[in-house]
A and B are shown apart, each in its own frame.
Chain A
């Protein structure tokens, strides 16, 4: 173990990453914020893959900031966006104000989670929209896996916005693993004080909770992802440190971690 050269380790990591993502040399979309892009494998958000976005606190139910975050991500792609939702509360003038042009949206209203997942899969497999977003409560592991496969089959990027009906459901499900290649949590942060009265520039606290082949992190960004203000350092007990420790463990442990990831 001691004799393992640094370059070998890097090559090994690259291979594992390629295996994990299933698409060696996949396309990515840079967010344009260097601090965040550096944490993502390939320097950007993987295209043709599934991403999971959740809110924090009471916004786990309202899903306002996750929706705006997803909208600012898909605004960087070109083409029609399919947005599958259940509650009919997405407000187009709010989207138009700095996130995404509503003219690019096709909104599909679904009755329940199962129908939303079905509509998302149809959209992803059809390869027609540039991206497919779905507001989903429960996401079973097999359902997530199906969506990820549909993303790969159609080459379309999918976003699951987790939106739970109530806090208990959120508490049970927010930590459950999923097949998505990244998992984000966006929370409101107090707006930047401009010295003027009134609300300043809205800001979000953006957390990359899980990322296949990337480094989790947390950042303070302005709403609409126009600027990244700072990067939070994470403490030693965090996922990052754990993953680094695992790298030096005996070889037979490694495959198990891959499966669990």
Chain B
């Protein structure tokens, strides 16, 4: 609970209205000392404690705040989960030594969370169940259960500390089983029979006899690097420098494994308990620190550091194997002398790692290059760097290559491939004339075509009148038979061009050339519907 805009010592509660009753949802420490517990009618609470400050409860806001806080706790362990409405579980396996032991980690966590304005109790134990019990029912605000002593430590705690349903607790208390220790000697089968599997299982979980998997907030990438700062940093230069260090460290570990990153995410943990995220993708796996720093550097420029960033964690959620030869891609420099001088200027020491030291053969400009679309490995590698730069701003879906697709319908004749897809060997349908600009969807035009099956003599498009001087056609285009043309649909939707079209290439008096078509078959009883579908060069 965070106190905002309330005097430091004034007791306060949050309340909710259910029907015509107002109930206390949560109480601050001072209010709790007056005996105000959650669930108490607000009128009673105000009688117990005159001058009580009341705030409306906001369950959704509380859940969101808890989630953000849980994410912020990712600075101590990547494995954090919000637990119920009032707790956060951290799996600190292998993390405590970074802070100099469990006690110091515990002190730091409690100190930071208090400073962020939240009241908190914390406990470290072998199991999530034991830590949960100690944090809520232990005698101290922070406690650490020495490994192996959970059974003895939990024994004096009330049974409610086992995370049981309210009626189970009441049933146990009715039988005089008030302490967890009271349950130890009882036969397991009898307990399960009487109180259900939940009790036995909760007890086993608390004592570590049964596993309890936690699913963390964020997927856990195996590759991460982390940087903590003695003083919070806030300037863009500092952030960029820290980023470069992180990426260098991560790239070293990627290199050791022979993999490259396809996606990088960075989380900046702010002093005020917020977490800022940024992410980039790459078209091909990469572990070139310079390239990745440049990509992520642009994204991190948009991050709001607030009062300062204390921790940065860089992760690589998507990795792929990366052969050593591809390392050379990062060494490309824009050559001031132009393309004729070869693609890459590489430091001599790097030569051993690239596939060849020769610039790719490039005929001099003047000869018409055939369909060569980035053939050699170096070309593709260099293109990948550019694709990453463009893709991260424009979106990778907006960076494409075009390939022919077998379809008679003009709007379906082009397949869109990712920018680094190998150029397909398929050939473009030639013969019939195709426009250089295709209007999608086709636009209706008013056309005057006195003779059926003849091109129009005049048409009006976008408020301009075009008188047709010359024309070619018709070219009958029909959708494939499996795209079953439905005549009924054509009548219902006059703007739908349908699947059977007669295309004409027409030239107006200025010399502009257009692609017009008449939709559907000629029917004497219906006016012909004309569309423009493209513009020729």
Contact = CB atoms under 8 A, between A and B. Distances in A.
B334 A125 contact: yes
Pick the most buried of B336, B338, B339, B398: most chain A CB atoms within 10 A of its CB: B339
A102 B428 contact: yes
Interface residues of B: mostly helix, strand, loop or mixed?
mixed
Interface stretch (A170-178, A184-192, A230-238): A184-192
Interface string B486-513: 0000000000000000000111011111
A20 interface: no
A79 to B, nearest CB: 7
A198 interface: yes
Contacts of B439: 89
A191 B424 contact: no
B433 A97 contact: yes
A215 B436 CA distance: 30
A136 interface: no
B370 interface: yes
B436 A99 contact: yes
Contact of B401 (A62, A103, A125): A103
Contacts of A109: 394, 398-400
A92 B398 contact: no
Interface stretch (B69-77, B257-265, B359-367): B359-367
Contacts of A8: none
Interface stretch (A63-71, A206-214, A241-249): A63-71
A40 B423 CA distance: 35
Pick the most buried of A94, A122, A153, A155: most chain B CB atoms within 10 A of its CB: A94
B471 interface: yes
A130 interface: yes
Contacts of B2: none
Chain A interface residue count: which class? 35 or more
B235 interface: no
A57 B394 CA distance: 31
Nearest to B362: A78
Interface stretch (B27-35, B156-164, B248-256, B379-387): B379-387
Interface residues of A: mostly helix, strand, loop or mixed?
mixed
B430 interface: yes
B370 A101 contact: yes
Contacts of A88: 440
A76 B513 contact: no
B394 A93 contact: no
A180 interface: no
A104 interface: yes
Given A62-B437, A96-B430, A118 B393 contact: yes
Contact of B511 (A76, A96, A153, A188): A188
B383 A128 contact: yes
A251 B409 CA distance: 64
A129 B536 CA distance: 26
A101 B70 CA distance: 54
Contacts of B424: 103
Contacts of B507: 190-191, 199
Contact of A89 (B438, B511, B512): B438
Interface string A199-227: 11011100000000000000000010000
Contacts of B510: 57, 187-188, 190
Contacts of B440: 88-89
A199 B335 CA distance: 46
Interface residues of B, number: 72
Contact of A80 (B379, B402, B469): B379
Interface string A28-43: 0110000000000000
Contact of B338 (A48, A65, A126): A48
A92 B394 contact: no
A138 interface: no
A106 B383 CA distance: 10
B372 A198 contact: no
Given A79-B339, A202-B536, A126 B385 contact: yes
Interface in B441-495: 462, 464, 469-472
Contacts of B462: 58
B371 interface: yes
A145 interface: no
B434 A91 contact: yes
A91 B438 contact: yes
Given A62-B535, A118-B393, A202-B536, A92 B430 contact: no
Nearest to A127: B334
Contact of B339 (A75, A76, A130, A200): A130
Given A198-B472, A199-B513, A99 B537 contact: yes
A90 interface: yes
Interface string B414-438: 1000010001100011100111111
B192 interface: no
Nearest to A97: B434
B404 interface: yes
A111 B390 CA distance: 13
A59 interface: yes
A76 B368 contact: yes
Nearest to B438: A91
Contacts of A103: 371, 373, 401-403, 423-424
A162 B138 CA distance: 73
B379 A126 contact: no
Contacts of A67: 436-437, 537
B359 to A, nearest CB: 13
B435 A94 contact: yes
A81 to B, nearest CB: 9
Given A80-B373, A122-B389, A154-B334, A191 B394 contact: no
B400 A107 contact: yes
B509 to A, nearest CB: 8
Interface string A105-149: 111111100010011001101111110000000000000000000
B436 A94 contact: yes
A18 interface: no
A204 B387 CA distance: 35
A108 B390 contact: yes
Contacts of A199: 470-472, 505-507, 513
A23 to B, nearest CB: 10
A47 interface: yes
Interface of A: 27, 29-30, 47-48, 57-59, 62-65, 67-69, 71, 75-80, 82, 88-97, 99, 101-111, 115, 118-119, 122-123, 125-130, 153-156, 187-191, 198-200, 202-204, 223
Q: What are the nearest 6 A-B pairs in CB distance?
A: A68-B537, A155-B338, A78-B369, A91-B438, A94-B436, A96-B428
16 contacts: A29-B365, A58-B512, A64-B535, A67-B437, A78-B369, A90-B437, A94-B435, A96-B428, A103-B401, A103-B423, A106-B387, A115-B394, A153-B336, A155-B336, A155-B338, A191-B470
Given A57-B512, A78-B365, A92-B413, 20 more contacts: A27-B338, A30-B366, A57-B510, A68-B537, A78-B369, A90-B436, A91-B436, A96-B428, A99-B537, A102-B403, A104-B373, A108-B394, A118-B393, A127-B338, A128-B385, A188-B510, A199-B472, A199-B507, A202-B513, A203-B511
